[in-house]
Structure 1
Amino acid sequence: MTNIPLTQVAASRFYTRWINADESRAQKVAEVGKLSLNPEVFARILQNETDGGASLPAAMRRLRNLVIATLIRRDLSGQADLAEVVDTMTAFGDFAVQRHLAAVMADMVAIHGTPVGAESGETQEMIVLGMGKLGGGELNVSSDIDLIFVYPEDGETVTTTPEQRQLSNHEFFTRLGKKLIAALSEITEDGFTFRVDMALRPNGVSGPLAASFGMVEEYLIVQGREWERYAWVKARALTGKPADIAALEQIIRPFVYRRYLDYGSIDAIRNMHAQIRAEVTRQEARHPDRSNNVKLGRGGIREIEFLAQVFQLIRGGRDAALRDRSTRRTLRILAEKQLFKPEVVEQLLHAYTFLRNLEHRLQYLDDAQTHTLPANEADRLIVAQMMGYNDVASLLAALEEQRKLVATQFDEIFSDKASDTATDENVDAELSAVLSDSDNAEAIETYLTTLSFDHAADAAQRLLSTWHSPRLQSLPEASRNKLVALVNASLPIIAKVTETRSLALNRLLNFFEAIARRAAYLALLTEYPHALERVIRMIAASDWAAQYLTRHPILLDELLDDRTLKAAPDWNAFARDCRQRLNETPGDTERQMDVLREMHHAQLIRLLAQDLVGDLSVERLADHLSELADKLVAETIHAIWKTLPTRHREEPKFSVIAYGKLGGKELGYASDLDVIFLYDDDDQEAPGLYAKLAQRFITWMTAHTPAGILFDVDIALRPDGASGLLVSTVSSFEKYQTTSAWPWEHQALTRARFCAGDADIGARFEAIRVKVLRQTRDPVKLKGDVLDMRKKLHDAHPNRTDLFDLKHDNGGMIDIEFIVQFLVLRDSAQHAQLTGDIGNIALLKLCGELGLIDQTLSGKVADAYRTFRKMQHQIRLQGAERARVETERVAEEIANVEALWSAVFS
């Protein structure tokens, strides 16, 4: 596409008429075209006009014509892009509203006094909200402006002279609004400044012209409709006091942005779009020569706006970055957050630019608010040439290409999945009637039998009892219908993905019962059938996964996108995102705690999905879970420190040291964190301050919030145990470890490492750890101490079954860990490499290579440990608290462990 200079075609009749009416105007356009059009330039030009004797309304209209003429000239000559055009028009819209409001406000105050709030006694100012493209910063050259007038409080004006006539605040601001509309929109010999549309205000054209905050809040809570959420996304205050604007935003935000993921927005926007399309279709049927509506037509500008805003409505309550009012910026944010493929976003942005440029050129013809191609061929050719095409056919072909791309993306999000599911050939059409209208378990059993369900009669009875439960019967009809459709869709999937079908159905019904009252979750599973299938696969494979999803259904959102679900974790990016989200809600401790939990849950479900399909080994999974915990601990410490008002330094000289499973990087899905806290700070307030930091850390980790808990925390391994201080200095920790620690504490030290906080303290801890582990020890005494501790652990976990306890029984995982710990403590003085925190399997093999134990046997025991961990993991995925198996399954592994135990401890 090439730009055709304005001088080569009679591109704009408005421009031609305006220029020809005054010979000085062409020079003005040329001069202004060299400037960056902004409020300062607007003010200077306006001042020149008023100094020449023009009234403010006349001067503003002349400024408006000059701005538009300048934009036409710059745009069509290739000197301005879409961003410059819409930014300039938005800036001018703000400027015009602000200047006119200030003028009419001064007039009103002179006549009626100053409006004052009845409760606060504060002077009241009207907040003018820009809606639509003005609010979004993307105003057209010939657009009307959508406004809403609000004011903080009811009350009365305070008069200062007998001539002033007192009014209620409501009457004052209503009159003020009427005067502002007149100043902007009245047509004179100079034209008009902006057409004004007030239809978006509460109760529409039948509602009051100006509304108090209280009135707005009550309306949004009681009467606000779904389409109004879409409109209020764009609301932007053009005037008003900052404190009042902030207070108003607190009223608007809960209405627009839900705290949960609101997938019901898809259906709401789908219905709104259908109504718009129906109206456009009616208009096109009446006027076939006015087709090709680039705004409201198929694949038009509105569909791109819907694509951006549906994600805002779904996710904006939880992600402040998605509350941007600009369609263009929102699309780019969606790409950054991987909610849209970056290449798709680029295509949509290209289409948006094409369609908006075309829309402007349609309006350049006669300065008319139009969005359709003109009826006559001559004007169509002019528009085509303004767009850089030689003929109309080329323009129409390019337009069709862009609209087709937009329509394809729109359909991908907004096609009616419920209708698609209802016509699927695998769905039994009779099931809905059976569930809804009778207690005919036999019909359901017959259907389940055809799907090869085990225990079909029991499964049928469970279906009916669930359906007829008071909880489900009290649901709105729309939710019940969605549930029936979801059950319809689920049964064939269950039959396809698992042989234990009745068990999977039971878990799924538990899940459906848990989410039934949250219409957004039902909408998500309806809108995204592949997410429903993934849920079924996960809960069929793992009872732990089923319970986890049932407790945290918000994680359904994580199952939508294969790219994020299957991607390898980027833990540095995770930490950055975590910090950014915590920084978005400073001072809101509850929200920050929920952010940490939500981000933890999201990563956990991604790892679980990869785990269940076999993409992760047990060792690799444990590495990821441990890294995830490290990052969350670090960000929690950072966030808590910022909440302490008496902190004396920007970063705390404080570290978290990990023991146990976290220390050994063998963390599981539900593992707790064994930690201690060290600090190194000479400030006199440091002990109390770091104790408070540690206490809050434990609270942030363990507190039950609406999002659950983060981790259970065990601090029993701190110096002197339960009787010891919560936090220790590095020097006192070193003294304790070298002079007072029990042998079992040195055993624990073999699986300890720096987790988070000050890296220098972490390095000092590691030096202490190595020094302690490399102490020369009496092997006989050490052996007795280790055996005594092993007996205590064994006695504390009796096994009264015929099954083998993979962890606690003789020949199990604890025995392997004690062997490794004994060898590290006994031989590190001669072999420094044994102090490395490399895990039990690697240490066993290293001990074999060093000749400390039989190398062949060390390899077999390492394999046994790996087998035990894998079996333990699989059993716990099925929800069992104890990992126990038939002894015969692991007889060889047990024998190898017992042989090594005997060789080491005999």
Structure 2
Amino acid sequence: NYQAAAAGLPAQAEREMVFDAESATLHTTAAMLVPHFHDGQEPRAAHTDHLIELLRDAAHHSLNARRALTLTARVAASLDKTDLRVMLTEANLRALVRLCGASELFGEMLASNPTLIETLTIEHERIADRDYRALLRAAIDREKNYGAELAALRRTWMRLLVERGARDAVGELSLSESNEFQTALATASINAALLIARRELARRFGQLAAGPRLAVFGLGRLGSGGMDYGSDLDLVLVYDPLVPTPIAGLTHEEAYARLAELMTTALSSMTREGHLYRVDLRLRPDGKNGPLARGAQSFLDYFRSDSAQIWEWLAYVKLRATGGDLELGRMIEREVRRLIHERARHIDKEELRNETRRVRERLERERAARPARATDIKFGAGGMLDVYFAARYLQLRDDVRDDEDAGRSTFATLTRLHAAGSLNDEDQRALSDGYACLRALDHSLRLIAGRSSHLPAAPDHPLLRDLARRNNYDSADALTHALSTHMKEIRAAYDRITGGDC
């Protein structure tokens, strides 16, 4: 240690400095980063000392200094093992350390692909209006086979996610801006995956007999425009049976099943470059027993008949055409939501209420966190599902339909229900304020720890302190107290709305 020796510190003190965990991490990390700063004019040791101080300062100004140094060290080690040349500046190194301190999710991404460091300081104006669909397509168009297309899609997707998500992690995006960005990226990814699937179908079966006419629909967060880090894609696929089958010799159902499998693989398979999303097709009509893709007439007939259950109404009331043939998709979307509201108008309200509560209680019983004192902010009592089920139940009970211009988010739905007189002031405030708290914590959990829903059981857990700091609470105790209050108020409002015992 040059500084310690120059200062004439005793040998014991010098050894203590060297073996101090933080100091050791700083020295090792700086040494691995120096080659990416060295300009050939200044001595390497001088660069190392400068980097040590820069790393220390940036870490201690981040959300979590220990996480910042640990993940930055992993990124540096990844750089050290590769021949890739990444030009580091003070600006992007500070941005890297700050991001690592704020997000394990993005720190791990950068450790697996350190060239992404260069995206951290791109000007906001350059990324604000990205055409994600065009950028993903351009990356795919350069490739000639299925594997290369999957790799190009993943590399481009990750770069787009990091350049915007890095700003989200350090508080430069609002939650609504983040949801909007992630929903747009997911939508573009679905269309890119469908393009890859169509090309691979042609490679395997020869020139297609007809262009596939397939609409891709989103449910859940994709349907409501609330995608977040790690959100699944809940998809439903519907084709036009009046157009000839794309593959001569195969039925519509067989041909579109192959297209669906290729598209799902493009989105969800794990490759060297990672994966994009988990894809869930289980919400399609007849679930796992139904075809992967369904003809449009059969799909509509399903919702005209008694086959569609009330739980499906609650899910499909937020159906949204997101990819493929949007003309076909929007026509089907409008008709399905009309059918659901029409059938809900004629059902016994007590049956609607009882079935809503039954489904919600089953999810709480089967999915809520089990460990003692753990808090599940999604499936637990007073969690986000209480808000979802209350809002959708009222939409069906009172025939309050989504307004496309006002959006379909849960916040927009609660506002619309209040304006329609379905929600009184007390319940609207309890659900809206409580949901805002839950969504902010869920978003922070995804960013910081790469997971959602479950808060640590231990009251002194470091993650709770990080969550409190990121969400502007004075302490972890203040956060848990506010959360407990909101969840109790949400459950009380849910019980009042659905007629349960308070």
TM-score (normalised: structure 2): 0.81
Q: What is the DSSP-based 3-state SS (H/G/I as helix, E as strand, rest coil) of the residue aligned with 1:602?
A: helix
CA contact (8 A) 1:431 1:488 kept: no
1:712 and 2:278 equivalent?
yes
CA contact (8 A) 2:72 2:97 kept: yes
Among candidates 160, 166, 183, match of residue 603 of structure 1: 160
Q: Deviations over 1:492-546 (max 9, x none)?
A: 34324237433321221122223321132xx4244x3322121111111222221
1:609 CA drift (Å):
2.3
Match of 2:226 in 1: 666
CA contact (8 A) 1:445 1:460 kept: no
Higher mean C-alpha deviation, range 723-732 or range 759-768 = 759-768
Among candidates 425, 429, 451, match of residue 859 of structure 1: 429
Match of 2:293 in 1: 727
Distance 1:465 1:568, change over 3 A: closer
Among candidates 396, 415, 440, match of residue 825 of structure 1: 396
Match of 1:258 in 2: none
Distance 1:635 1:467, change over 3 A: closer
CA distance in 2, matches of 1:873, 1:789: 25
1:674 CA drift (Å):
0.9
CA contact (8 A) 1:549 1:556 kept: yes
Once the two structures are superposed, the pairs formed by residues 492-891 of structure 1 within 5 Å of their partners are 492-496=54-58, 497-498=61-62, 500-520=64-84, 523-526=85-88, 528-563=89-124, 567-571=127-131, 574-585=132-143, 587-645=144-202, 646=206, 648=208, 651-682=211-242, 683-684=244-245, 685=250, 686-739=252-305, 740-774=307-341, 775=343, 776=345, 777-799=347-369, 800-828=371-399, 831-833=400-402, 838-879=408-449, 881=451, 882-884=453-455, 887-891=480-484
CA contact (8 A) 1:848 1:856 kept: no
The amino acid across from 1:668 in the alignment is D
Q: What is the DSSP-based 3-state SS (H/G/I as helix, E as strand, rest coil) of the residue aligned with 1:519?
A: coil
CA distance in 1, matches of 2:209, 2:387: 45
Distance 1:499 1:904, change over 3 A: closer
Q: For CA contacts below 8 A with separation 6 or more, give which structure has more relative contact order.
A: 2
Distance 1:670 1:623, change over 3 A: same
CA distance in 2, matches of 1:441, 1:665: 59
Distance 1:503 1:642, change over 3 A: closer
Q: What is the DSSP-based 3-state SS (H/G/I as helix, E as strand, rest coil) of the residue aligned with 1:658?
A: strand
Match of 1:136 in 2: none
Higher mean C-alpha deviation, range 835-844 or range 685-694 = 835-844
CA distance in 2, matches of 1:874, 1:593: 29
Once the two structures are superposed, the pairs formed by residues 75-154 of structure 1 within 5 Å of their partners are none
Higher mean C-alpha deviation, range 482-491 or range 701-710 = 482-491
1:635 CA drift (Å):
2.1
Which sections of structure 2, spanning at least 5 residues, go unmatched?
456-463, 465-478
CA distance in 2, matches of 1:770, 1:459: 58
CA contact (8 A) 1:641 1:647 kept: no
The amino acid across from 1:458 in the alignment is A
1:598 CA drift (Å):
1.4
1:708 CA drift (Å):
1.0
Once the two structures are superposed, the pairs formed by residues 283-322 of structure 1 within 5 Å of their partners are none
Q: Deviations over 1:378-398 (max 9, x none)?
A: xxxxxxxxxxxxxxxxxxxxx
Distance 1:737 1:859, change over 3 A: same
Q: What is the DSSP-based 3-state SS (H/G/I as helix, E as strand, rest coil) of the residue aligned with 1:863?
A: helix
CA distance in 2, matches of 1:576, 1:853: 42
1:688 CA drift (Å):
2.2
1:441 CA drift (Å):
9.3
Distance 1:467 1:609, change over 3 A: closer
CA distance in 1, matches of 2:135, 2:294: 31
CA contact (8 A) 1:752 1:837 kept: no
Among candidates 475, 490, 494, match of residue 897 of structure 1: 490
The amino acid across from 1:495 in the alignment is D
Higher mean C-alpha deviation, range 763-772 or range 713-722 = 763-772
Distance 1:816 1:764, change over 3 A: same
Once the two structures are superposed, the pairs formed by residues 414-433 of structure 1 within 5 Å of their partners are 430=3
CA distance in 2, matches of 1:709, 1:721: 24
CA distance in 2, matches of 1:713, 1:817: 21
CA distance in 1, matches of 2:5, 2:272: 34
CA contact (8 A) 1:495 1:501 kept: no
CA distance in 2, matches of 1:824, 1:851: 11
Q: Deviations over 1:230-268 (max 9, x none)?
A: xxxxxxxxxxxxxxxxxxxxxxxxxxxxxxxxxxxxxxx
1:727 CA drift (Å):
0.8
Distance 1:577 1:887, change over 3 A: closer
1:670 CA drift (Å):
1.5
TM-score (normalised: structure 1): 0.46
Match of 1:73 in 2: none
CA distance in 2, matches of 1:513, 1:482: 18
Among candidates 449, 459, 468, match of residue 22 of structure 2: 459
1:673 CA drift (Å):
0.8
CA distance in 1, matches of 2:129, 2:254: 37
Identity %: 21
CA contact (8 A) 2:146 2:196 kept: no
When the two chains are superposed, the root-mean-square deviation of aligned CA atoms in Å is 3.1
Q: Deviations over 1:118-138 (max 9, x none)?
A: xxxxxxxxxxxxxxxxxxxxx
1:619 CA drift (Å):
1.6
Structure of higher CA gyration radius:
1
CA distance in 1, matches of 2:426, 2:73: 50
